[in-house]
Chain A
Amino acid sequence: MATSSERSPPPFPDSEDQDVLDAEEVRGRDSDEDEDLFGSTSTSPVTEMDTTPTSDVSMKPPSDIMNDPLIEPMSSQTGNKPASEPSDDFFDLTNNVSVVAAAATKSDDFVDILGSETGAQRGEVVKADVTVEATIDRSEVTAGVIDPLSQQEAKQTSTAPVIDLSGDSQPVTSKIADPLVALFSDAPPAAEAKKPSSANVDLFDDEEGSDIFAEPLQTKPAKQPQKSLFGEPDEDVFGEPLGAISKKPVPKELKEKSVTTKVTAGGPLQDSKPADIFSQAAASTPSVTSTVNPKTNGVHSEEDGDIFAAEATVELSLDSPRNERKKEATAKPSAPAPTSLPAAASLAKPQPPALEELEEEEEEEEEDKFDIFVSVKDPEKIGDGMNAYMAYKVSTQTTLPMFRNKTFTVRRRFSDFLGLYEKLSEKHGPNGFIVPPPPEKSLLGMTKVKVGKEDSSSTDFVERRRGALERYLQRVVNHPSLLQDPDVREFLEREELPRAVSTQALSGAGFLKMINKATDAVSKMTIKMNESDVWFEEKLQEVESADQQFRKLHALVESLVVHRKELSLNTASFAKSAAMLGSAEDNTALSRALSQLAEVEDKMEQLHQEQAASDTFTFAEMIADYIRLLGAVRGSFDHRMKAWQRWQDAQSMLQKKRETEAKLLWANKPDKLQLAKEEIAEWEAKVTQYERDFERVSATVRKEVIRFEREKTKNCKRQVITYLECLLQSQQQLIKYWEAFLPEAKAIA
């Protein structure tokens, strides 16, 4: 049970925790994608942390928490070289720490932890430690967790490490606190600790903003990645101080690193002193990162590893899954509460997929090929009259471990597809993601189908829609972030889907209207928006013109298709009249030739028909897809604009508040002044957050648009090749027909 649950995704428990988890996970991953894979790795632990502490107060959860973070790092390390150098450095540091903390009783524990890591069985050891500190942990953990939660949107990724650290550090820190404080006066003094969220956010933003991800070069950018890598830990670190007020030395090293990062960013909460002190660490980091770079997961794990001075060996990593399992096993029996079961399950399940997927994601990001293939087949009319609807078989073939089986098939009706889109666009749209839109509802087409006319137009309609749905799903699962969405998984896997109710709003013209409205809004806002980024301005214009061009192309292709179909019809009727002429002909040779001609023309009719279908499905439908997608692209611009708007609004609000403060100051009303100050602080926080939101959305939109364009080119090329192959084939077929007919014609004389 434990193993299975580990491998496979959660069985969609109804518990809300689960949802929250998933959502977070998803979001975290979305935002990271290429960049903050570390973040995502860390996310899963985070979520676990959140849930477990809250759900059960028993000792075990903490242990799980400890284990997971530890194990993850280890396992991820396997992929990478065991960062021996960095670890050494860390060792030193840790040693220092222990020396400092020698007086403290907990130092032993800490050492133990380290030891356990180096050894394979740290799982148990850790558990022991944890249990000892469990009570403390929990309180702290929850404290730390809550903060992150509040900021979740801004940052879920970093939270995980935070927790880990907090878990480890808290016991240590509480005892070592004094020495630490003495040494690193800065850490505790960080009065800003109150706003851990902001700190985290900063860090995270910096990371995102940094070009690290843009150019994932190994050696050079290594520095930046470092930052980012360490940035997270830093955040965690900060999270801890906030929660615990006391500090571990290790975290501080991290801080230094983060400091370096932040220096560039300009919003470092920390002083440069620690950096000096731990200049060593800084030196060590580059090396770490260089090795780590290729795999972000690895990066993350290394840090942890470093922190724990673990010389991650292959053995360890191999063991780690087992440990995890053990933990789960222990966790379950231990947790008597009914909630604990699902919680444990959810803990275990999301995690492994998360890790593995991330890796895959990364690799695949380059090739943009996912080991998942979705097909929509066998459209079937269900029911009669106006209540009839079309159901499709959705078959998935994949080797992705996030799915329970390699192949599975479910039955979905059209509104389910729309429902999926709605869920996805609601969740991911505001973050700037381009959510592939499904084909819109067609009242006319569907009515024909409902009426049950089996004419060519209704079969054509059904086939077109089937193709469109298939391409839509393909686009969804090929999107690295959307694939991770639990709703997508549910859509593909779950036998029975709750009926999507609200798709009516999306139907037909309504859907188009929605897109148009979005576009209008965008264009209106563009006028208002003093676009700071030329790139977006240009892109938006490009998208607009591309949209127009695609519409034009679509009309042209559609007319081409109409002509092709006409040609096929005309050829058929010519074939018929040729056959009649042949039968009326007295001259036997000529009669024979004419009948042959009729046959050739019949075959050609077939060819023309196929050509028409090829035109339709390779070009017309592809272009229709892109018109829809361009709508989605504009939607993402729209969301960016909204984020901007929100930021601007907050700014003007802040301005107002400041003015009020000034007035109050002038009027000398100290009682109200305090309130005004608080408000200003609140709005300042909001402004920074909204600004970051905006920047984050901007970054995502930019990335998504680039991805979209790349995909577009690739897809077009692929389609053209298919089309040409088809064209060539039909031409060769034609040659065969003519070659067969020529002797017949010559034989007439």
Chain B
Amino acid sequence: MSTEEVKETASVLSVHDDSIKVTEVLKEGDTLTFIIVSQKLSGTGEYHVDRTYEDFEWLQQHLFSQGDVPGIQGVIFPPLPAKPQVNASPRSIKQLGFLALGECQPYCKALETFLQQVAAHSILSKNKAVEVFLTSSDPPGRQKVKKNIFNRLSQAVEEMRKEGHKDVDEFFQNERDHNLILTGCTKTAAEKFLDVVATEQKIAVACGHFSTALHLCVEPGEDPDKQAFSRVCVKLSEVFESIKKNMTSVAENNVNTLGLGLDLESRYQEAEREMLFRRTCKLVELENAQRNVEKAKPVKKAAMEEVKKAAETEFEHTSGVAKQEIARFQGARVEMLQQALVGWCEKQLLTAKESADQFNQHLEVFRGMA
């Protein structure tokens, strides 16, 4: 145990966790390459590395499969967003939610948050893979990653049986129940909010079309009546251009603040749920071992006892880590949501004020036209 800790501290991360940025995304054929910049702890240098989505998956797999860390199963792993598609199908867009919007910025932002969360995590940041991922100029793992038990697909099958398992710990039972509700609610909220944003974007586009079409109504000619009408058309076109801008920035604000917040929240809830599920699995394992010990014949009793002991330790470790993680997570998510809401509100307020200003100007112009 102590040796392990020494080992862990040895590989402490050499970059500031909050300096990690996904600055750019390069498109090459079907693959997207992300440029990740981070500041060195020592001095003023910067690391610039380029990583593909496969590299991110490699990192996550390494984080998942740290068998030597006690209670690793109790960790709420920062959720990695789903794979981006260059030629996104409607399904993958739906899966990506907010992250599919815009020109990859939301997605980069999500990846950035993922890396920051990993780097800031007291347990995960100690993993060598993180350091390698962030600093090594060579791409770490371009080979095919094997899916392990943390694979969501395999989990889904087991979930059916174990999710409803009664917990021995009231805290965890509550947390599980609560998480279940919250996961659902957050997901719905994020989806609905996404709908709102999508509609806002449609409105922006429609306003743009209208504005363009108005330009076509402009009639050439010296006739003052005609010119007056043309002026009205041109001005109205400008008005709709403003409305379009307003709508666009409203939608952008929505995406970049509350949208991303809800998306992250929703994925984190999912991650917590996975963690809780893993813990439940451990619990089931332990209970099985206990039952086996009770039922076991004296010959096998010792061996069973051993198994039970191991399961117990692991479960306790997991539960211990899980408790810490949950507490940390609750604090973090409230803060994150608060930031999202405040940021959202401030940005929308700004946009609204700007738009009001513009509309007022337009109105003055029109009133002055008479």
Contact = CB atoms under 8 A, between A and B. Distances in A.
B32 interface: no
A732 B217 contact: no
Interface string A536-575: 0000001000100100110011011001101100110110
A587 B219 contact: no
A580 B188 contact: yes
A567 B330 contact: no
A368 B246 CA distance: 37
B264 to A, nearest CB: 14
Contacts of B150: none
Nearest to B189: A577
Contacts of A742: 342, 345-346, 349
A586 B178 contact: yes
Contacts of B229: 709, 712-713, 716
A739 interface: yes
Contacts of B210: 553, 556-557, 560
The B interface, classified by DSSP as helix, strand, loop or mixed, is helix
Interface residues of B, number: 60
Given A738-B352, A745-B345, 13 more contacts: A553-B210, A560-B203, A560-B207, A567-B203, A570-B195, A576-B192, A581-B186, A584-B185, A587-B330, A713-B229, A724-B362, A746-B342, A749-B335
A734 B362 CA distance: 18
Interface stretch (B37-45, B271-279, B282-290, B353-361): B353-361
B193 A553 contact: no
A574 B195 contact: yes
B142 to A, nearest CB: 40
A721 B206 contact: no
Contact of B337 (A549, A560, A570, A590): A590
Nearest to B242: A727
Given A560-B203, A580-B188, A710-B225, A728 B345 contact: no
Contacts of B369: 717
Contacts of B367: 721
A724 B213 contact: no
A369 to B, nearest CB: 13
A473 B217 CA distance: 27
Contacts of A563: 199, 202-203, 206
Interface string B230-261: 00110110010001001000000000000000
B363 A739 contact: no
8 contacts: A549-B217, A566-B199, A567-B200, A570-B192, A586-B178, A587-B330, A724-B363, A734-B348
Contacts of A567: 196, 199-200, 203
A576 B362 CA distance: 35
Contacts of B300: none
A505 to B, nearest CB: 33
A558 to B, nearest CB: 10
Contacts of A662: none
A564 B337 contact: no
B355 A731 contact: yes
A709 B362 contact: no
A69 to B, nearest CB: 39
A716 B232 contact: yes
B26 interface: no
Interface string A735-749: 100110110011011
A593 B258 CA distance: 13
A570 B199 contact: yes
A559 to B, nearest CB: 5
Given A567-B200, A713-B228, A735-B353, A720 B209 contact: no
Contact of B341 (A557, A573, A593): A593
Nearest to A548: B216
A720 B236 contact: yes
Contacts of B226: 709
Contact of A721 (B185, B189, B366): B366
B85 interface: no
B69 interface: no
B220 to A, nearest CB: 10
A542 B188 CA distance: 52
B343 to A, nearest CB: 9
Contact of A735 (B213, B246, B349): B349
Contact of A585 (B182, B225, B345, B363): B182
Nearest to A559: B206
A529 interface: no
A713 B225 contact: yes
A746 B178 CA distance: 25
B213 A552 contact: yes
A237 interface: no
Nearest to A586: B178
A276 interface: no
A126 interface: no
Contact of A724 (B199, B219, B225, B359): B359
Nearest to A546: B217
Given A556-B209, A735-B356, A742-B349, A578 B236 contact: no
B202 to A, nearest CB: 5
A748 B366 contact: no
B366 A741 contact: no
B369 to A, nearest CB: 6
Contacts of A553: 210, 213-214, 217
A720 B214 contact: no
B370 interface: yes
Nearest to A558: B206
A725 interface: yes
A457 to B, nearest CB: 19
Given A553-B210, A557-B210, A563-B203, A748 B341 contact: yes
A539 to B, nearest CB: 10
Nearest to B192: A574
A738 B181 CA distance: 28
B19 interface: no
A571 B337 contact: no
A597 interface: yes
B334 interface: yes
B363 A725 contact: yes
Contacts of A746: 338, 342
Interface string B172-203: 00000010011001101101110110011011
A577 B185 contact: yes
Give 6 closest A-B pairs by Cβ, nearest first. A748-B338, A745-B341, A574-B192, A731-B356, A560-B206, A738-B349
B85 to A, nearest CB: 25
B359 A556 contact: no
Contacts of B213: 549, 552-553, 556
A731 B350 CA distance: 11
A706 interface: yes
A260 B367 CA distance: 48
Contacts of B186: 581
A727 B338 contact: no
Contacts of A712: 229
A732 B337 contact: no
Between A563, A593, A741, the greatest number of chain B beta carbons within 10 A of the residue's beta carbon is seen for A563
A103 B235 CA distance: 76
Given A570-B192, A739-B349, A709 B185 contact: no
A556 B206 contact: yes
Contacts of A721: 363, 366-367
A749 B334 CA distance: 7
Nearest to A708: B225
B185 A727 contact: no
A332 B193 CA distance: 79
B243 A741 contact: no
A556 B213 CA distance: 9
Given A735-B352, A739-B349, A728 B363 contact: yes
A627 B142 CA distance: 63
A712 B228 CA distance: 10
B360 A748 contact: no
A738 B345 contact: yes
A198 B117 CA distance: 98
Contacts of B335: 749
A742 B178 CA distance: 27
